[in-house]
Amino acid sequence: SLKEPLKVMISGAPSSGKGTQCELIVKKFGLVHVSTGDLLRAEVSAGSEIGGKAKEYMENGLLVPDEIVTKILKSRLSQQDVRENGWLLDGYPRNLSQAQSLENMKIRPDICLMLDVPDDILIERCIGRRMDPVTGKIYHLKYFPPEMAEIYDRLIARPDDTEDKVKSRLETYKKNVEAISKTYMDVLHKIDGNHPRDMVFRQIESLLQVQSDKLETRTSDG
Ligand code: AP5
């Protein structure tokens, strides 16, 4: 196609709604969702060597060592679907060294969305989060309960979603957030994530639409 693919980065504290918004963004803009958390969880359930190394860190709410995460991210970003359709990068970079790895590889987003949600709300969202192991869909016991009792009965919680682990994940996030916002200062947009899902998405949607129109104009201008 004539159009250059859009490249979007989404960042925000644990449970700020990144995965939830990514699902809506993918539906509307057709980007490839690349979530390092999802990639790592897939390695853990597959019982791979990488998964074996990552498991303990993840279950304890600690960052997985940079070289492991950067390696799987690099291999995912080099695949055909990403190059054709553009990417939506979720959960990476998480610190200065990861941001520098991307800069060194000349991988830059057209726009970086940063979801902003107060601490007490984040904790409530994390603790109530459940996943459907059959479809991979994310629910919340209070905000997005499943439609059917059958789904409700099979929901599982993530081992890192206990209150104390959420608090330590949040601290790690706060320690590193400035490195991220400085690196992407020129393309950064803060989003108020403390609203219902669809209201948050409307803010994101209009920002991405502007960005996508810009790329289209740039490409057709030559
Ligand atoms: P990762 O999977 O990236 O976890 P996270 O950043 O902690 O983010 P979450 O998945 O917890 O939250 P989210 O923002 O996607 O929220 P969601 O939409 O689900 O990483 C997990 C682990 O992997 C890390 O701890 C680390 O060990 C490792 N890892 C990953 N990347 C790494 C990296 N780059 N380097 C090193 N290690 C790495 O929403 C949360 C809940 O709230 C849901 O129940 C949802 O239904 C609900 N909700 C969402 N939006 C709303 C709304 N607007 N109103 C009400 N409820 C809402």
151-171 confidence digits (pLDDT tens):
999 999 999 999 999 999 999
Residues above pLDDT 90, as percent of the chain: 93
Show the domain range for 111: 7-195
Which pLDDT score, from 0 to 100, does residue 222 have?
53
Residue nearest to atom 7 of ligand 1 (CA): 14
Residue 208 burial class via C-beta count within 10 angstroms: exposed 0-12, middle 13-18, buried 19 and up: buried
The H-or-E segment that residue 201 falls in is helix 197-220
Ligand 1 centroid from CA 39, angstroms: 13
CA angle 28, 16, 116 (to 5 degrees): 95
Interface ipTM? 0.97
Ligand 1 centroid from CA 12, angstroms: 8
Which pLDDT score, from 0 to 100, does residue 4 have?
82
pLDDT digits (tens, 9 = 90+) for 50-92: 999 999 999 999 999 999 999 999 999 999 999 999 999 999 9
Of 66, 60, 57, the residue nearest 93 (C-alpha): 66
**Domain count across the chain:** 1
pLDDT digits (tens, 9 = 90+) for 12-49: 999 999 999 999 999 999 999 999 999 999 999 999 99
Establish whether residue 152 lines the binding site of ligand 1, counting it when its CB lies within 6 angstroms of any ligand atom.
no
Q: Look at residue 123 and tell me if it is in a domain.
A: yes
* Segment among 73-82, 167-176, 179-188, 210-219 with least mean pLDDT: 210-219
Q: Look at residue 24 and tell me if it is in a domain.
A: yes
Q: Look at residue 35 and tell me if it is in a domain.
A: yes
Establish whether residue 96 lines the binding site of ligand 1, counting it when its CB lies within 6 angstroms of any ligand atom.
no
Phi and psi at residue 15, in whole multiples of 5°? 70, 15
C-alpha pair distances (Å), 137 with each of 80, 145, 197 = 25, 11, 15
Establish whether residue 17 lines the binding site of ligand 1, counting it when its CB lies within 6 angstroms of any ligand atom.
yes
CATH number for the domain harbouring residue 84: 3.40.50.300
**172 half-sphere exposure, CB direction, 13 A CA radius:** 18
Residues above pLDDT 70, as percent of the chain: 97
**Which residues participate in catalysis according to the annotation?**
18, 94, 129, 158, 169
Q: Look at residue 207 and tell me if it is in a domain.
A: no
Enumerate the β-bridge partners of residue 219: none
Q: Look at residue 217 and tell me if it is in a domain.
A: no
Q: What is the mean pLDDT of the chain?
A: 95
CB neighbourhood size of 15 (10 A): 25
Enter the pTM of the model. 0.94
Q: Look at residue 47 and tell me if it is in a domain.
A: yes
Q: Look at residue 215 and tell me if it is in a domain.
A: no
Establish whether residue 196 lines the binding site of ligand 1, counting it when its CB lies within 6 angstroms of any ligand atom.
yes
CB neighbourhood size of 146 (10 A): 18
Q: Look at residue 202 and tell me if it is in a domain.
A: no
